[in-house]
Chains A and B, each alone.
Chain A
Amino acid sequence: DTGVSQDPRHKITKRGQNVTFRCDPISEHNRLYWYRQTLGQGPEFLTYFQNEAQLEKSRLLSDRFSAERPKGSFSTLEIQRTEQGDSAMYLCASSLSAGSYGYTFGSGTRLTVV
């Protein structure tokens, strides 16, 4: 297992376009998280799943954002009608629900909206 994989690593899109990111977690991890990080800030929680159930969504996750984890394995994060303010690093992480060792993060998808 090579850890948490995110695809693509970089995405440049025009304002108003839709984008979709994919995250493949560590295979035995049942929890999957999405965070957003902008320049000079720490990661900000967006949403998380336990298996295929979406357990919590942040108020940062506007109606233009949607996340899915259809079979409890990989997850997608879609942003519709992108805005310049959506430019950020989108980080995915996974963990077991039990234990206390923290998440394993992927390397992130950097989104630039022009």
Chain B
Amino acid sequence: DAGVTQSPTHLIKTRGQQVTLRCSPKSGHDTVSWYQQALGQGPQFIFQYYEEEERQRGNFPDRFSGHQFPNYSSELNVNALLLGDSALYLCASSFTAGVETQYFGPGTRLLVL
């Protein structure tokens, strides 16, 4: 049983570019949440997707957008990248019946130059 997978593992972009990160949830899970983790800090909630719609959103600008596909996988898009967007981006999946228990993927390390 595969856990949460994310791609790519590492990514380097320059300021102003756009990036797309991908996440496949744990088998049986239908809810995907995205987090940004700056170095030395705790993860910060970006948004959550369920039934292909954004259900919850944290305090992030509209440059951060997402999508969930019918197979429950998800994408995180960030436009007009800033240096401050450099971070580890984590995806977590859960099942709606037990939404509190989230399983995290290994993350995508994004570096913006």
A is bound by B:
no
Residues in chain A within 8 A of chain B (CB atoms): none
Interface residues of B (CB under 8 A from A): none
